[in-house]
Amino acid sequence: MKKVSSGFQLTASDLVGHLNCGRLTALDIKVASGELAKPHVWDPMLEILRERGFRHEQGFVDHLKGTRMPSIVDRGQEKVFIKAVSAQATPQYVSCENML
């Protein structure tokens, strides 16, 4: 959930969370408004999944580099964009969400 000028921008996870627990939505609104600090939760299983995701992503980038399609990786704030140019010079774009 993110606070924007017109209200709040919700994600699919926010909607699922609301269906499971209305109190969660109230807490999310307070965090997005700055009334509460975002809780810090550390889960070793999530760290393992994150590391596996990074390895998978790097393997995909290495695969693109190994093909006849030269690739450029631009790491943005929220997404990774991979621009691959085929042998016919037709650009193709692949977007991979970062799971940070």
User: For residue 73, which amino acid is it?
Assistant: V
Residues 78 and 98: beta-carbon distance below 8 Å: yes
Look at residue 72 in the predicted model and tell me its pLDDT.
57
Q: Tell me, yes or no, if the pTM score tops 0.75.
A: no
Residues 9 and 1: beta-carbon distance below 8 Å: yes
Residue 5, SS3? coil
pLDDT in tens, 21-49: 989 999 999 999 999 998 888 889 989 99
Strands (E), the chain: 2-4, 7-9, 71-75, 79-85, 91-97
Neighbour count for residue 20 (Cβ, 10 Å): 10
d(CA 16, CA 8): 16
Q: Which residues of the chain have pLDDT under 70?
A: 68-100
